[in-house]
A and B are shown apart, each in its own frame.
Chain A
Amino acid sequence: MLRRSLLSMALAGAVAGLAGLPQAHAQDTTVRMWTFLNPAGQSPRDLALAQIIANYEQANPGTKVVVEPQAWDQMTPKFLAAHNSGAAPDVIWVVTDFLGDAIKSGSLADLSQYFIKDWTPEQVADRAGPYWDLTADGDKQYSLFTSRNYISIMYRKDLLAEAGIDPASITTWDGFVEAAKKLTVKDASGQVTRYGFAHGFSENQADPPLMIPYALGKGAELFQEDGKANFTTPEAVEGLTFQTDLIKKHGVMAESAVTWTVDDVYEQFASDRAAMIMGASVRVSTLQGQLGKDKVGLMLWPGSGDKPHSPAVMAGWAVGVWSKSPIAEKAADFVEYMLGPQGDPLWVQVGGQSPGLASTLASMGDFVKQPGNEFLSVVSEGSVNYGWLAPIDYSIGGYRQILNKAAQRVVVNGQDPKAALEEAAAEFNRSHNR
């Protein structure tokens, strides 16, 4: 009986498996793309990608775009390995942490030779900004960005309004603490039921901690010219002190924040347990879905005095073409379409992303003004004037985790911020052999 059931299971599986095998049409050119999105999926970004691909295939008969969804955190290392073994896809999404490695390894093709050379100056200007500059090298351009992310303060519009706080008025770090104090709510027994601010210090899923905008806003650099850590500047020490004092001194942040991941923080926010959090622009639409479209906004970081706002850390996904792709030209054509004037509006309207082209933002004035969509203009103002992209000239992988660990040591072990950052710098330099 056992043997028969095993056999029938195997057979059923075999039939199912064969039916599911991809069928290639010989006459078609197939462009393979690796991304963490799944065009069969139902999330807004999945739907946007599916629609862009469908439009492209309709406009280009004979070309098929096949997405091979990957685990996002392994995708770029795997791509670099695949580049060496010859199995890489034609189009690749690269995470900013490994972007420098990807370019230096020669795995990304120069896109100007395919389509940027034909662009008008206006078309180039349409993309001007720090993202363009990051992967440009003289006449060469190795990628176009998508899923641009701006990490600053996400806040509850209703709660701030209730407390009489205008987000635009928070332009200093002291003002920020005052607002957070006002937003911290306690019950009759003195137990905090809602904190003014939340920000996770876990090493798992670490976003760049608050001390970075703080230190950058005061004019410090986070890395030295040679890629060594520059974590022990007075500004950085002050920043870490400020960040941990939100728990230790001001009581506007929960002590458990030390153990929170990025996702934990969003769940605290969704549970009504925090009025402001360190949050990313790419998450605004999700939180609006959980809390209500009119309740979630994004604001810029407070400034350091001379400037109204400190730079926020930006990130995103750089889309490139594999340099050894046999159909690089076709692949480049798709990249241009996906992230150009045809694709960009769909990423915004269907996918809920912030626009990649200045012209998209301009042409979508009504959409941006819809209640809940104002954050899009906050992001575009921020990315142009108050943004910081981590350098890609040298590898900096792990800096967020190491800085978060330093914050944990300050809160849990009571370590002095300066000593914690010295330890962090030593660990960073050692792990990168610098």
Chain B
Amino acid sequence: MHSRRAGLIYIVPAFALLGLVLFSPVFYGFWFSLFRIQYGAPTDFIGIGNFMRLLDDPALGGTVRRSAVFAAAAVVLTVAISLALAVWIHKLGERRGFIVQMIVIVPWIISTVVATLLFRWVFVNDIGLALSLARWAGLGEIRILNDPTLAMGLLIAVSVWKRIGYAVIILLAGLKSIPDDYEEAARIDGATGWQVFRRITLPLLKTPLLLVTIVLTLSNLNTVETPLVLTGGGPGDATRILPMDVFDRAFVTYDLGSATALALVMFFGNILLVLAYVRLARWKA
């Protein structure tokens, strides 16, 4: 019986820290959001007034829908590409695997703003390398960011590009942990490579895949730097996603009340999303 309590001792330090740094500020933020915020300070208690203001914004629905499409596309593509890459790296020798891995992680290890700025300069800007080359090749002017659909496509592509490295690392670690004998046994039974992958590898990768999917979804839904630097939300509102809305409310119009309210609603949505993922994956702790 003593071991039931004993287990708690091992998690108390971790939870104390999470409580201090992650959980309490959310409660503080919630309390903060119940007041009218003037010049950065809470003044009158207005209950859910700040949350009601969110409903007044006719553009918010579109932003939510756009964010969902953006995140879904970015996550699916990142996971698919990273999984293929991780499987490939796993099969390479150690030295080649290490080199490939280092190339893959480059965009992830450079600071987001610098990486996005460089990508935009080299591949998107008309004074950059790629478009100068295209012009020289007679392709004329290419204006990706002027087109609402292409701009969203580019935002998705850059978000995928930036995060593949992270996903590959986690998936690779997962692949490396699958004992070789499982696959060998299956092959002796006559399974094809694809069948081994489908029936053996994929199910054993469930936990890392779930972790990667959760982290990618949330980081795409919460990162302001990439869209801000790449498109600024334009043209029009074509690439405006939720984190930009929070950022603008907080730092452009300086409406901290509704910014905090929106951030909290997003937190709540994010947590529901995580629980839904865990549920859907029928994953048990």
- A and B held together in a complex: yes
Binding site for B on A (CB under 8 A): 73-74, 77, 80-81, 83-84, 97-98, 101-102, 104-105, 107, 191, 201-206, 254-256, 258-259, 261, 264, 267-268, 271, 273, 395, 397-398, 401, 405, 408-409, 411-413, 427, 430-433
| Interface residues in B63-109 (C-beta closer than 8 Å to A) | none
Given contacts A254-B126, A255-B143, contact A431 B40 (CB under 8 A): no
Closest chain B residue to A200, Cβ basis: B232
Q: Are A259 and B250 in contact (CB under 8 A)?
A: no
The interface residues of chain A lying within 8 Å CB-to-CB of B59 are: 427
Contact of B251 among A74, A267, A268, A395 (CB under 8 A): A74
CA A107 to CA B38, docked complex, whole Å: 12
The interface residues of chain A lying within 8 Å CB-to-CB of B56 are: 430
Q: Are B232 and A203 in contact (CB under 8 A)?
A: yes
The interface residues of chain A lying within 8 Å CB-to-CB of B250 are: 77
Closest chain B residue to A263, Cβ basis: B117
Q: Are B253 and A398 in contact (CB under 8 A)?
A: yes
| Interface-lining segment among B4-12, B202-210, B234-242 | B234-242
Q: Are A105 and B248 in contact (CB under 8 A)?
A: no
Q: Are B252 and A398 in contact (CB under 8 A)?
A: yes
Q: Are B253 and A395 in contact (CB under 8 A)?
A: yes
**Besides A105-B39, A259-B145, A430-B57, 9 other A-B contacts (C-beta < 8 A):** A77-B40, A101-B254, A202-B231, A204-B228, A256-B126, A256-B143, A259-B151, A397-B253, A398-B248
CA A195 to CA B230, docked complex, whole Å: 23
CA A266 to CA B92, docked complex, whole Å: 46
Q: How many residue pairs between the two chains, A and B, have CB atoms under 8 Å in the bound complex?
A: 113
The interface residues of chain B lying within 8 Å CB-to-CB of A408 are: 234-236
The interface residues of chain B lying within 8 Å CB-to-CB of A206 are: 232
The interface residues of chain A lying within 8 Å CB-to-CB of B53 are: 433
| Interface residues in B214-273 (C-beta closer than 8 Å to A) | 228-229, 231-237, 248-256
Q: Kindly state the interface size class of chain B when it binds its partner.
A: 35 or more
Contact of A397 among B126, B235, B252 (CB under 8 A): B252
The interface residues of chain B lying within 8 Å CB-to-CB of A273 are: 126-127
Binding site for A on B (CB under 8 A): 38-41, 53, 56-57, 59, 125-127, 135, 140-141, 143, 145-148, 151, 228-229, 231-237, 248-256
CA A97 to CA B252, docked complex, whole Å: 9
Q: Are B140 and A191 in contact (CB under 8 A)?
A: yes
The interface residues of chain A lying within 8 Å CB-to-CB of B148 are: 412
Given contacts A74-B251, A98-B254, contact A204 B235 (CB under 8 A): no
The interface residues of chain B lying within 8 Å CB-to-CB of A395 are: 253-254
Q: Are B146 and A259 in contact (CB under 8 A)?
A: yes
Question: Shortest Cβ distance from A266 into chain B, in angstroms?
Answer: 11
Q: Are A84 and B41 in contact (CB under 8 A)?
A: yes
The interface residues of chain B lying within 8 Å CB-to-CB of A74 are: 251
Question: Shortest Cβ distance from A270 into chain B, in angstroms?
Answer: 9
Interface centre among B40, B53, B125, B229 (most CB of A within 10 A): B40
Q: Are A259 and B231 in contact (CB under 8 A)?
A: yes
CA A203 to CA B231, docked complex, whole Å: 8
Contact of B40 among A81, A259, A427 (CB under 8 A): A81
